């Protein structure tokens, strides 16, 4: 009997050591074009997107962006030791708005040779700045950087001064010149440039894990290169420097070299942060109750859902962006010159979603 038990135990132990525990993979968000997805993988595992290694936070959370024109599928893989899981996401298409923009300074639309050179040089500066290595853990809770009217959404196909132009892969928030722009989350200033031909007074911020944001057309810059900013710190003031026909903030959110939809990101971030705040609050209450009452009571069990450590940020609610078209709030110039035509950009509807647990285990 003893021998049988020993053999059985040995087999059991052997089985345990051979069969590696599969890592976890959670996703938050829907894989629409322009989306910034949230992911969670067991800390210490290697996460790859289409074979390329992703930079994740120590606690396992990571972000990845989908470009406006990306199509097909994305393959996420998570490896921990010998165990591996894989998840294939099909990119969901969106429809984009067509927008007529008139009254822009003509030299910014059809620059001469000299101006073209200047633009190229300035683009290089931004590119170089974006490459700077930043050792930061990306915050997960972002807020809107300025209060105002949404004058242009992400993804629109533009007709500039009557000629088909590029895409608008950013969000425009129109408000009076001098309106304060604040850091939507902690980060460091990569670039602060006083005069760029197209973007005017320009600030570029890095938040960590390949996420950057930029602030364009400002009337005043209130930060310096290399400065560390906390969420809510002043970056500058709204203006209309560079290629602009009215005072507004042109806000870009980038993951690696992909420009993502800032509005979709803010919605996703708000849903993510309010959802993760609940279990955290519950845990705090439970812990306090345990302390107060019986000392011998067992401590509450660990959270089942991974939670974000951005507890401070959780408390601050993301201010809603005003999307109403109150003429009073709109600056005259922008109102006259920016005509928005065509249909509303089709916004993703099945979001935000609850984290999806991946249970596939492909050894």
Bridge partners, 152 (sequence order): 172
Residue 37 or 334: the one with the smaller Cβ distance to Zn ion is: 334
Residue 23 or 236: the one with the smaller Cβ distance to Zn ion is: 236
3-class secondary-structure state, position 76:
strand
Residue 172 or 186: the one with the smaller Cβ distance to Zn ion is: 172
The CB density around residue 81, as the number of other CB atoms within 10 Å, is: 11
To Zn ion, the closest distance from the beta carbon of 274 in angstroms equals 28
Residue 271 or 334: the one with the smaller Cβ distance to Zn ion is: 334
Q: Which stretch binds Zn ion (CB under 5 A): 40-48, 170-178, 204-212, 267-275?
A: 170-178
Distance CA 259, CA 214 (A): 11
To Zn ion, the closest distance from the beta carbon of 123 in angstroms equals 16
Residues 285-304 binding Zn ion (CB under 5 A) are none
To Zn ion, the closest distance from the beta carbon of 146 in angstroms equals 13
Interaction of residue 310 with Zn ion, rule CB under 5 A: no
Structure tokens belonging to residue 239: 């203006």
To Zn ion, the closest distance from the beta carbon of 169 in angstroms equals 9
Among 122, 172, 261, 314, binds Zn ion (CB under 5 A): 172
Q: Residue 322 has what DSSP assignment?
A: B
Residue 28 or 250: the one with the smaller Cβ distance to Zn ion is: 250
Structure tokens belonging to residue 33: 């074009």
Interaction of residue 182 with Zn ion, rule CB under 5 A: no
To Zn ion, the closest distance from the beta carbon of 166 in angstroms equals 11
Q: Which stretch binds Zn ion (CB under 5 A): 10-18, 40-48, 166-174, 343-351?
A: 166-174
Rg (CA), the chain: 24
Distance CA 44, CA 282 (A): 27
To Zn ion, the closest distance from the beta carbon of 154 in angstroms equals 9
To Zn ion, the closest distance from the beta carbon of 299 in angstroms equals 51
Residues in the chain: 363
3-class secondary-structure state, position 7:
helix
Which residues, other chains included, contact 205 with Cβ-Cβ below 8 Å and sequence gap of 6+?
A: 183, 187, 188, 189, 190, 212, 213, 214, 215, 229, 235
3-class secondary-structure state, position 97:
coil
Strands (E), 81-138: 83-90, 98-101
The CB density around residue 23, as the number of other CB atoms within 10 Å, is: 23
Residue 66 or 173: the one with the smaller Cβ distance to Zn ion is: 173
Distance CA 302, CA 85 (A): 24
Structure tokens belonging to residue 231: 């969420």
Interaction of residue 358 with Zn ion, rule CB under 5 A: no
Residue 250 or 307: the one with the smaller Cβ distance to Zn ion is: 250
Contact 253, 185 (CB under 8 A): no
- H/E stretch holding 47 reads strand 46-49
Binding residue count for Zn ion, defined by CB under 5 A:
3
Residues 232-271 binding Zn ion (CB under 5 A) are 250
Tell me the residue number closest to Zn ion, measured at CB: 250
To Zn ion, the closest distance from the beta carbon of 248 in angstroms equals 7
Residue 101 or 190: the one with the smaller Cβ distance to Zn ion is: 101
Residue 43 or 165: the one with the smaller Cβ distance to Zn ion is: 165
Residue 106 or 293: the one with the smaller Cβ distance to Zn ion is: 106
To Zn ion, the closest distance from the beta carbon of 84 in angstroms equals 42
Interaction of residue 201 with Zn ion, rule CB under 5 A: no
Contact 94, 67 (CB under 8 A): no
To Zn ion, the closest distance from the beta carbon of 244 in angstroms equals 8
Structure tokens belonging to residue 47: 């996460």
Which residues, other chains included, contact 332 with Cβ-Cβ below 8 Å and sequence gap of 6+?
A: 246
Of the candidates 243, 91, 271, the one whose C-alpha atom is nearest the C-alpha of residue 152 is 243
Can you give the binding site for Zn ion, defined by CB under 5 A? 170, 172, 250
């Amino acid at each position: 009997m003893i021998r049988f038990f020993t053999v059985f135990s040995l087999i059991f132990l052997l089985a345990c050591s051979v069969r590696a525990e599969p890592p976890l993979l959670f996703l938050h968000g829907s894989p629409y074009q322009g989306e910034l997805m949230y992911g969670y993988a067991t800390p210490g595992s290697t996460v790859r997107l289409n074979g390329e290694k992703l930079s994740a936070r120590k606690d396992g959370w990571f972000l990845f962006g989908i470009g406006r024109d990306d199509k097909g599928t994305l393959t996420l893989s998570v490896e921990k030791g010998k165990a591996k899981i894989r998840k294939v996401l099909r990119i969901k298409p969106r429809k984009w708005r067509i927008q007529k923009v008139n009254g822009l300074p003509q030299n910014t639309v059809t620059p001469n040779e000299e101006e073209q050179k200047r633009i190229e040089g300035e683009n290089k500066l931004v590119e170089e700045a974006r490459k700077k290595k930043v050792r930061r853990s990306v915050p997960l809770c972002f807020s809107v950087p300025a209060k105002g009217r949404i004058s242009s959404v992400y993804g629109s196909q533009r007709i500039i001064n009557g000629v088909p132009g590029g895409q608008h892969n950013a969000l425009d928030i129109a408000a009076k010149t001098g309106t304060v722009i604040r850091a939507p989350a902690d980060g460091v200033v990569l670039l602060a440039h006083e005069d760029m031909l197209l973007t005017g007074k320009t600030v570029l911020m890095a938040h960590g894990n390949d996420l950057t944001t930029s602030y364009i057309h400002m009337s005043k810059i209130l930060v310096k290169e290399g400065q560390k900013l906390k969420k809510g710190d002043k970056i500058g003031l709204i203006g209309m420097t560079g290629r602009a026909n009215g005072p507004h903030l042109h806000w870009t959110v980038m993951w690696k070299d992909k420009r993502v939809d800032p509005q979709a990101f803010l919605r996703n971030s708000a849903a993510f942060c309010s959802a993760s705040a609940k279990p955290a609050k519950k845990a705090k209450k439970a812990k306090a109750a345990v302390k107060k009452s019986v000392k011998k009571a067992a401590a509450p069990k660990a959270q089942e859902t991974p939670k974000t450590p951005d507890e401070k940020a959780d408390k601050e609610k993301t201010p809603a962006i005003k999307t109403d078209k109150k003429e009073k709030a709109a600056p005259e110039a922008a109102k006259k010159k920016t005509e928005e035509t065509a249909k509303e950009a089709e916004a993703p509807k099945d979001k935000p979603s609850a984290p999806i647990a991946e249970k596939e285990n492909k050894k």
